[in-house]
Amino acid sequence: MLKNLTALSAAAVARPAPAYSTNTYEGPFRYTIGIVGNPTIPDVQWSDEQLSLIKAAGFNTLQLSIAWASKPAGEVLNLEDLDNPKNVKEWHRRVDQARKFGFRTLAQFGLPKGPQRDATTCILDPSVRQDCATRLRHFFEDFPEVDDVMIYTYDQLAWLCSQFGDCPRCHGIPLSKRLPGFLELMVDAVQEGNRGVRLWWEPWELSAGQTYAIVETIRPDHFGLIVHNTIAEVYFVNTTDHWVRNLARLARRRGIPMIGEAFLSGSGEDIAPLTHLACPRLVYEEADALRKTEGIVGIKEYYGLLPQRHCPNLELFTAYLTALDTPFQDLIRPVAAFYGPASTEHILEAWELTAQAMELFPWDGSWTLRGIFGRSEGQKWRAVPLASWITPSWQANRRAFFMVTDERQPYPHVPEDYGMTPPWRNECEERLFEHPWLLEDAGLRALAAGQRFDQAASLLNSAIHEASTGKQNLYAQKKDVIQAATASKYFGQQLLDSIHWSQ
């Protein structure tokens, strides 16, 4: 039901369908976008050495900050962060450094930035629209050399009113009707700031239906999409889902370019805080799946790069970029040869077992399993009070991606491990457990993953003795694999041990 429509919101709804764009794009990887540092190790300098390594790895564009919601190392996240002269000075230095090495630059912002309370802002509020447009225009007065801008309209401290909420402007107006006008206003602001610059939009947290509807109606000129490699998140596994393929195809028909995000190094949000997990086959499959997605024009690292660390995953990506149609087995052998011929076979097998372990691990159990390898055997498992959020995607499509998306605690905990008292147990029983078959499924898969990680660690140990160079790097890989093995086995056994509780 539409009510309380202001003239502005009415204008936002009653828009003629724009004509198809005449934009044409050559694929598949016109853009290869890197990030200096990552949220685990953010304090990586934009030095000549770091940038030359990223350039050599095959990236042609740099994101100007890590732009992570937790703001690691105080990196710029919103346009408001550029009110600070210190950040402006550092960004100028970064732009100069990037240009020196021939990189394009991409500025990423959560927009519009919301208040501390709930980060929610009204994009039908004229003052908000004007402030966002003015800030974008001013941004290009300060940074005329920046090549591209990317915005999130959910997350990154920028959330939007719900049509079911009490905002008098937005109540009853679907996001698919409100967002195109706002995004076009931002495109126009960018054009006024610096003609020809493209505004890339990350439709994060929107449902499949909403993103399809927006891509079908928005004015396509100077507009593009940057998306995770699934509607749920970026993962090393589960590459490019139905949503990504559909969206890319629809966008292409409208002349809207799309860039896919992936984990291309030994780090990732799912495996954080590990930084040396070597599973190059998965990187190959991530990149190849995006390349073969109709409409994709680029690939973007999602978490960040630590260029000074020798990284088999990144080495593989670089090799792939230079020989897109070469089979994986032909690409990976020279990467393994770095450590000397005597260790090659053990290293190749270790990397394959690590990839298999990652595939067996039950990432689809819950979003909250991101970062699980950072939890050691001796730690108490953190209760998971939230397995979803009130966003369109969480309340729709992600229910088909994760087994647990409700607000129940997904995994019951063994009280002996926690020193929990009987009242806690009663409370937990009242809160319902997941079905034991779900617990068993996730537990069995986690244990299977742990076994593969163990085998990979053993092979890496042999390779360390055989290698003629890069032993320290192999040690670091082994350390990460052991940590993943320990976490997987403990988690899996805990789930299986908890089943009798649920019966």
Shortest spacing between CB 13 and Zn ion, in angstroms: 13
Shortest spacing between CB 179 and Zn ion, in angstroms: 12
Give whichever of 131 and 406 is closer to Zn ion, judged by the CB atom. 131
Triad 55, 258, 393: Cα angle to 5°: 115
Cα-Cα-Cα-Cα dihedral of 339, 344, 350, 351, to 10°? 70
Give whichever of 54 and 122 is closer to Zn ion, judged by the CB atom. 122
Shortest spacing between CB 124 and Zn ion, in angstroms: 5
Give whichever of 103 and 182 is closer to Zn ion, judged by the CB atom. 182
Q: Applying CB under 5 A, which residues contact Zn ion?
A: 122, 161, 167, 169-170
**CA distances, 387 to each of 227, 296, 374, 391, 403 (Å):** 22, 31, 18, 12, 10
Shortest spacing between CB 161 and Zn ion, in angstroms: 3
Shortest spacing between CB 118 and Zn ion, in angstroms: 12
The β-bridge partners of 31 are 298
Shortest spacing between CB 346 and Zn ion, in angstroms: 59
321, HSE (Cβ side, Cα atoms, 13 Å): 21
Give whichever of 2 and 414 is closer to Zn ion, judged by the CB atom. 2
Contacts of 111 (CB under 8 A, 6+ apart): 78, 79, 132, 136, 151, 152, 153, 158, 186
DSSP one-letter code for 398: G
End-to-end CA distance of the chain: 46
Shortest spacing between CB 187 and Zn ion, in angstroms: 21
Shortest spacing between CB 215 and Zn ion, in angstroms: 22
What's CA 445's distance to the chain center, in Å? 24
Cis peptide bond prior to 412, omega within 30° of 0: no
Question: Regarding beta strands 223-227 and 198-202, do their DSSP bridges make them parallel or antiparallel, or are they unpaired?
Answer: parallel
Residue-wise burial string across 16-30, b where 16 or more C-beta atoms lie within 10 A, e elsewhere = eeeeebeeebebbbb
8 A C-beta contact, residue 183 and residue 148: no
Give whichever of 15 and 425 is closer to Zn ion, judged by the CB atom. 15
Shortest spacing between CB 120 and Zn ion, in angstroms: 8
Q: What's phi and psi for 151, nearest 5 deg?
A: -125, 145
Give whichever of 162 and 458 is closer to Zn ion, judged by the CB atom. 162
State both tokens at 248: 């890319």
In the three-class reduction of DSSP (H, G, I as helix; E, B as strand; rest coil), residue 320 is classed as helix
Q: What's phi and psi for 270, nearest 5 deg?
A: -70, -35
Give whichever of 150 and 170 is closer to Zn ion, judged by the CB atom. 170
Give whichever of 128 and 387 is closer to Zn ion, judged by the CB atom. 128
Shortest spacing between CB 10 and Zn ion, in angstroms: 14
With the C-alpha atoms ordered 192, 196, 197, 201, is the resulting torsion angle positive or negative? positive
Residue of closest CB approach to Zn ion: 122
Give whichever of 167 and 369 is closer to Zn ion, judged by the CB atom. 167
CA-nearest of 102, 112, 105, 113 to 65 is 105
Give whichever of 169 and 413 is closer to Zn ion, judged by the CB atom. 169
In the three-class reduction of DSSP (H, G, I as helix; E, B as strand; rest coil), residue 198 is classed as strand
Give whichever of 36 and 122 is closer to Zn ion, judged by the CB atom. 122
Contacts of 338 (CB under 8 A, 6+ apart): 310, 315, 469, 470
Shortest spacing between CB 172 and Zn ion, in angstroms: 11
Measured distance CA(172)–CA(168) in Å, rounded: 9
Give whichever of 161 and 487 is closer to Zn ion, judged by the CB atom. 161
The β-bridge partners of 34 are 62
Triad 452, 454, 460: Cα angle to 5°: 105
Shortest spacing between CB 392 and Zn ion, in angstroms: 15
